[in-house]
Amino acid sequence: MIDWFEILKRFGVDYIDSGSKTTRGHVNVRCPWCAEDNGHHLGLSLKTGRFYCWRDSRHCGSDSAFALAHVAVISYEQAVAEIGKVGVSPGETIAELSERFSGLLRKKHSRVYEDLEWAKEMFLPTQQHGAGFLKYLSRRGIEGGSLVFADYNMRVAISGRFAYRILFPAYTKSMRQIGWTGRTVSHDCKARYLSHPDGRALGSAVFCHRVITSISGGVLVLCEGPFDALALDQVGRRYGVRAVAVFGVSMGLAQLGVLMELADSFDRLFILFDRGAMGSAERLRASLSAFSPKILRLPSFVDDPGELSHEKIIKLCRELVVQR
């Protein structure tokens, strides 16, 4: 038996347990996967841990912790701690469940995030909880799995507005987190990146606090996107090459300030933008002319630094440290 009443009350989730939409032995809540659920269409079994939606038969499963994570908008790990793993069928792992539901995500979340630091549903993925995210990272050529997330203070979510996104923190020079940007791992999600508070607010920040906190001369490379910076920094740090992302290419004065302070701590500065953003790279070079930055060109057939292979990144880093 699952004490859904007690659990739902604790998380302040509105539920019903009588009326035409309920069946015996169940409690009903608003379906977190239906775009608009003004009724209470998701039934949670008190006995088996199963859950299913009256409006959309795809919104069903047998892992009660997965349902709780979405209904209460908390991480899967926290949900397991709250409820235990009840009703998990051997047929579907959390990774498979996440994959199945990532394609069903249609709900517009109206939740307002007041904090600029991580929300409670954002967590560090492990092989048990969030293996899909680790696979995605490795498909993009970034090895290290869950250690990378811990190392760069990145998060993921499977519920809430940022569900099925890899979340990169945005920092000011004083190491204050002022939001994040999330890259979707779902194929059919049109918005590749979603940011909090919004794209403009991130214009005064950079990704990669590792770089900010471990400055010791060497080479700094400015990239556009967080994946580019992550790929380069992860390999480059062994060679004395560090990388930060500027979150897009439209830099405001506040961000230039952050970049100038950072650049001041390094011996040499490079700009490595996507092939299609050479104009922005030139403008940035002009703004940072006091540090004589050089613009790096990508090899032919490579459009953005994130596409560089591990070997190509090593080669690039070796060249950068000897360049004068």
Chain positions contacting Zn ion, by CB under 5 A: 31, 33-34, 53, 55-56, 59
The order of strands in the sheet holding 165-171 is 155-157, 165-171, 177-184, 193-196
Written as one letter, the residue type at 2 is I
Instruction: Specify the DSSP element, H or E, that contains 242.
Output: strand 241-245
**Least distance in angstroms from the C-beta of 157 to Zn ion:** 19
What does 136-198 look like in DSSP terms, one character per residue? Answer: HHHHTT---THHHHHHTT-EEESSSTTTTEEEEEEE-TT--EEEEEEEE--TT-S-SEEEES-
- Token match 């471990």: residue? 214
**Least distance in angstroms from the C-beta of 64 to Zn ion:** 16
Q: Which is nearer to Zn ion, 70 or 165 (CB)?
A: 70
Q: Which is nearer to Zn ion, 186 or 195 (CB)?
A: 186
Q: Which is nearer to Zn ion, 31 or 142 (CB)?
A: 31
Written as one letter, the residue type at 16 is I
**Least distance in angstroms from the C-beta of 36 to Zn ion:** 10
Q: Which is nearer to Zn ion, 77 or 92 (CB)?
A: 92
**Least distance in angstroms from the C-beta of 110 to Zn ion:** 17
Q: Which is nearer to Zn ion, 31 or 97 (CB)?
A: 31
Determine if residue 183 is left, alpha or beta; phi over 0 gives left, psi from -120 to 50 gives alpha, anything else beta: beta
**Least distance in angstroms from the C-beta of 35 to Zn ion:** 9
Return the structure tokens found at 212. 């900010």
